[in-house]
Amino acid sequence: MLRVGMLTSGGDCQALNATMRGVAKSLYKSDKEVEITGFLNGYRGLMYGEYRVMKPSDFSGILTTGGTMLGTSRQPFKLMREPDENGMDKVEAMKATYNKLKLDCLVVLGGNGSQKTANLLSEEGLNVVGLPKTIDNDIYGTDMTFGFQSAVEIATNAIDCIHTTAASHSRVFIVEVMGHKVGWLTLYAGLAGGADIILIPEIPYDIKKIADAIRLREADGKRFTILAVAEGAISKEDAALSKKELKKKRLKNAGRYPSISYEIGDILSGETGVEVRVTVPGHTQRGGTPNPFDRALSTRLGAHGAELILKKQYGRLVVLRGTEVTDILLSESAGKLKYVDPESTLVNEARLVGISFGDR
């Protein structure tokens, strides 16, 4: 009997079920007798022994279903070594559950923090295979994460919808896109949606340069401007502050501005004299049905994960390199983020078509 545990951790996304299906179907098609145990609500289920034994039928009809049938939760990596409210050692508890169920492998579908914990468990002696999930596309070592393209589609649609009302009312619109630390989602959605200005964390902005870009469009006869702004967009002034100073400033502004987009909008109104409106698609970017790209990618990633299990190649993260699915050591990726390179050809190509990043 090949016994495999499976959990989904961190924020949900559209293709978690599709990826679990890829793993399960590939294992069931092997010549092994397979038992899959699904842990409920992420690492919490592994800690507290909350799970259910899955059946092959559980993995049928879920290719197009968003969210996760196992549920998920956030368990910050920095707190993994700290006891819970009852004094329980979380890492030891997870190891105990793994051993109690006599698992041969644990499959972790999660983002950067989840894969750091997966690597920790691997270092503690558990057999672990990681699958890269996040709409942020910020996992180091893979060109693409599942969930990203579906989120790009939703964010792009939001920008598309704003175009018509912005043009009708001759307004400046800000569409706030998810992404606290990296700007992949905002960059791709901004490009696909025809945003005029894109603000991402990796390229600190100058509010006066943004105002200049708006005035230049007005001088060219353009009656509206659309900004795609990442949640983590930051001004040049704020980027120069220490972490302590920045935290203090943000706490001060918290009551006045719900997010960075509202702050930018307020300042731009004063700089340009134009009306600025803010739209926040929010968690809609993580919801709904996975698009065809993510369905195909998830199936491939899941199948490769199953192949690693059958070959007993553990401590690996399944990744996409170019058009090929392969794998790397969990330790090679854990604790690292994949940032947008401000000097990349992607950013340069955006500049060539006239998109401003608010920095020059």
Q: Per residue in 191-230, pLDDT tens?
A: 999 999 999 999 999 999 999 999 999 999 998 999 999 9
Percent residues over pLDDT 70 in the chain: 100
d(CA 294, CA 132): 12
pLDDT of residue 23: 98
State the average pLDDT over residues 240-269: 91
Q: Would you state the pLDDT for residue 201?
A: 98
Q: Does the structure show a pLDDT above 90 at 170? A: no
Query: Over the chain, what is the mean pLDDT?
Result: 96
Inter-residue contact 109 to 147 (CB < 8 Å): no
Question: From the candidates 136, 138, 196, 327, which is the catalytic residue?
Answer: 136
Lookup: tokens for 261:
């987009």
Nearest to 173 by CA among 96, 64, 265, 109: 265
- Euclidean distance between CA atoms 34 and 27, whole angstroms: 7
Q: Report the pLDDT averaged over residues 157-176.
A: 94
Burial class (CB in 10 A: 0-12, 13-18, 19+), 354: exposed
Q: How many Cβ atoms from other residues are within 10 Å of residue 191's Cβ?
A: 19
The angle that helices 345-352 and 184-193 make with each other, rounded to 10 degrees, is 30
pLDDT digits (tens, 9 = 90+) for 299-308: 999 999 999 9
Residue 360 has what pLDDT? 95
Q: Are 322 and 143 in contact (CB under 8 A)?
A: yes
pLDDT tens column, 263-293: 999 999 999 998 899 999 999 999 999 999 9
Please give the model's pTM, rounded to 2 decimal places: 0.95
Task: Label residue 250 by pLDDT band (50, 70, 90).
Answer: confident
User: Is 28's pLDDT higher than 90?
Assistant: yes
β 225-230/197-199 pair status: parallel
* Confidence band of 251 (pLDDT split at 50, 70, 90): confident
Q: Which residues pair with 225 in a beta bridge?
A: 172
Which has the minimum average pLDDT: 55-64, 148-157, 238-247?
238-247
* End-to-end Cα distance, the chain: 61
pLDDT exceeds 90 at position 47? yes
pLDDT of residue 254: 81
Q: Are 228 and 205 in contact (CB under 8 A)?
A: no
Task: Dump pLDDT digits (tens) for 290-341.
Answer: 999 999 999 999 999 999 999 999 999 999 999 999 999 999 999 899 999 9
Q: What's residue 70's pLDDT?
A: 98
Measuring CA to CA, which residue among 340, 87, 330 is closest to residue 200? 340
Q: Tell me whether residue 136 is one of the annotated catalytic residues.
A: yes
The pLDDT tens digits of the residues spanning 95-152 come to 999 999 999 999 999 999 999 999 999 999 999 999 999 999 999 999 999 999 999 9
